[in-house]
Chain A
Amino acid sequence: MSKESTYIPKSGFSKWFDQRLPLPRMLHDNINAFPTPRNLNYWYTFGGILTFCLVTQIVTGIVLAMHYTADAGLAFASVEHIMRNVNYGWLIRYIHAVGASMFFLAVYVHIFRGLYYGSYKAPREILWILGVVIYLLMVITAFMGYVLPWGQMSFWGATVITNLFSVIPVVGTTITEWLWGGFAVDNATLKRFFSLHYLMPFMIFGVVILHIWSLHVTGNNNPVGVSVKEKQDTVPFAPYYTVKDAFSLVCFLILFAWFIFFNPNILGHTDNYIMADPLVTPAHIVPEWYLLPFYAILRAIPSKLGGVLVMGAAIAILFILPWLDTSKVRSATFRPLYKQFYWIFVVNCIALGYLGSQNPEGLFLVASRICTAYYFIHFLLVLPILGLVEKPKPIPESITKAVLEKMEIRNLKEKSAEA
């Protein structure tokens, strides 16, 4: 990637400013002029969508915190107060609650796009690892946020998840009591979760900046997976990708708005409109949809410690993914076998999500065990072996060649259709 700055200060003031703090120069070089592969498709617009989601959550969250009360006796009522009395409170809360789901929807598309096009491979390992860190922080933030309304699912979700730490040998109980600030999930727990839930989005924001920084050092991957070689392989980010990202964002917002205005509670659980009761466990405890695959893995393992370890490993394995995939070819477009295993893996993850919502009994339990095993087989056996045995299709010489070839084929087809 070219590192030469193309910023030219236009006025006397901007020249004066540039010599003291070259912030406009940094923004110009990284946003306006940033050279981006010319062949990015719509799957590459989710980075922008995710940035939008993060900002949305922070803005609505700050506003909600003005009306919410973090106290076990008052929290539930304060959420109802937001819904009924605060001007537009219903809208802001629904944006925040639906926004969490949309955030995860976008991040899953973003992650699976990376898996398909091999965006985790050299030289983008750090970029990928930072992405996994962001995802992990998102999971923790979402979990803590879900506790704040202090409904039945909030309370029992918090109880089940914090109890995961009790499996740590010797110090497990000490750690869970430290997390709770008592002998069970209670007022102290709610207050600290609120404090940390407010903090973590800003930590995510920090890691996002590192993620983008790393992206701008290595440059974007692209659908053919061939590195940028010459200037004509790229176009400036503005206006080409600002417009593409904006169009994609508008489509995403249509779905977002549909949830907010027509079905705001479909992604939640009705039990969370019952106030937390430490003496009654709901018949069926489930996490939010975006964590169901991990819940299925947790329950697939018959031992308590084993379940927690394997669930942790399911995320941890993503950190070492760049070194598990032995193939040098990035894009699945040119990997006929990987392409098939990729889709099997996608189906397997969706199946785990479904199984996480069911009772772990009979066939469901057997199926979750098979799917859990396959999840790890994909990373530990399929990916290392495929790279050694697979014969990739011929790879285009450059991004430009690949684009022109595609255009030629399209032109020929149009001509033959006319004739």
Chain B
Amino acid sequence: MSDKDPKQPSRRDFIFLATGAFAAVGAASIAWPIVDQMNPDATALALSKIEVDISQLERGQAITVKWRGKPVFIRRRTEEEIQMASRVDIASLPDNNARNYNLSSDSSASDENRSLDENGEWLVMVGVCTHLGCVPKGQSLGDSKGDFGGWYCPCHGSHYDTAGRIRKGPAAKNLDIPAAEFINQNVIRIG
């Protein structure tokens, strides 16, 4: 490598590039901690499991519990509500994915895939509208339940059916189903 041939890269070019590369790597290695400090911290990630006593719930009743800062809807459905949900043609749904964390990610949005138990009585969902994050109405008796008898989000008018599937409105996805299981007859563990 000759320093005198102007067409050949010189040692100075090499030093220039190497310095630039080091400065760039150095800047990135400082930038990352500053960006990453905003991600959920250890307290937010730690022990995000809760256990809920559901022994007091009658059919047709629902409770809302807080999990990871979000509301979780637990509903013990009536026979009629189960019938309404299982009669629907899955192909006609806006979102035909189960969105169930407990199942594989390509499961269909059938009512069996949405409910927690085999009878389809128990429905456990994250009560956050998949549009822009409001809490849909439908948990209390006096609430508007929307056109499909399930939940209705008052913010931008999304309607969910009795299995928490999106049927009408701007939301694109069914309500999420979190990791959940029965520990015994009376207690559900979420997370």
Contacts of A206 in B (CB 8 A): none
Pairwise interchain contact A304-B38, C-beta atoms closer than 8 A: no
Which residues between 253 and 288 of chain A lie within 8 Å of chain B, taking CB atoms? 278-281, 283-285
Known: A160-B133, A281-B135, A304-B170. A177 touches B39 (CB 8 A): yes
Interface residues of B in 123-147 (CB under 8 A from A): 128, 131-137
Q: In the bound complex, do residue A279 and residue B135 qualify as a contact, i.e. CB atoms below 8 Å apart? A: yes
In the complex, chain A residues 95-143 whose Cβ is within 8 Å of any chain B Cβ: none
**Does B26 count as interface, using CB distance less than 8 angstroms?**
no
- Give the residue among B41, B48, B131 with the most A Cβ atoms within 10 A: B131
A66 to B14, CA, bound (A): 53
A183→B40 contact, CB < 8 A: yes
Question: Within the complex, what minimum Cβ distance (angstroms) separates A24 from chain B?
Answer: 39
Partner of A304 from the list B44, B66, B71, B171 (CB cut-off 8 Å) is: B171
Interface residue B180 (Cβ < 8 Å from any Cβ of A): no
B residues less than 8 Å from A186 (CB atoms): 44, 69
- Residue of A188, A280, A285, A307 touching B170 (CB-CB under 8 A): A307
CB distance from A190 to the nearest CB of B (A): 12
Interface 0/1 of A181-192, CB less than 8 Å to B: 111111010001
Digitize A139-169: 1 where CB-to-B-CB distance is under 8 Å, 0 elsewhere: 0000000000000000010011011101000
Which B7-45 residues sit within 8 Å CB-CB of chain A? 35, 38-41, 44
Q: Which residues on B sit within 8 Å (CB–CB) of A91?
A: none
Q: Is the C-beta of A390 less than 8 angstroms from some C-beta in chain B?
A: no
Q: State whether the Cβ of A359 lies closer than 8 Å to any Cβ in chain B.
A: yes
Annotate B38-76 by CB proximity to A: 1 below 8 A, 0 otherwise: 111100100010000000000000001010111100000
Instruction: Contact check, B44 vs A183: say whether CB atoms are below 8 A apart.
Output: yes
Whether A184 contacts B40 by the Cβ 8 Å rule is: no
Interface status of B156 (Cβ within 8 A of chain A): yes
- Taking the closest CB of chain B, its distance from the CB of A160, in whole angstroms, is 4
Q: Is B172 an interface residue (CB 8 A)?
A: yes
Q: Which A residues lie within 8 Å of B154 (CB)?
A: 281, 283-285
Q: List 24 A-B contacts (CB under 8 A).
A: A156-B134, A159-B132, A159-B134, A162-B133, A177-B40, A178-B35, A179-B38, A181-B40, A183-B44, A183-B68, A184-B68, A279-B64, A279-B66, A279-B135, A280-B135, A281-B134, A281-B135, A281-B154, A281-B155, A283-B154, A285-B155, A299-B156, A304-B171, A359-B157
- Apart from A183-B44, A281-B153, A285-B154: 5 A-B pairs, beta carbons within 8 A: A160-B133, A177-B40, A181-B38, A299-B170, A359-B157
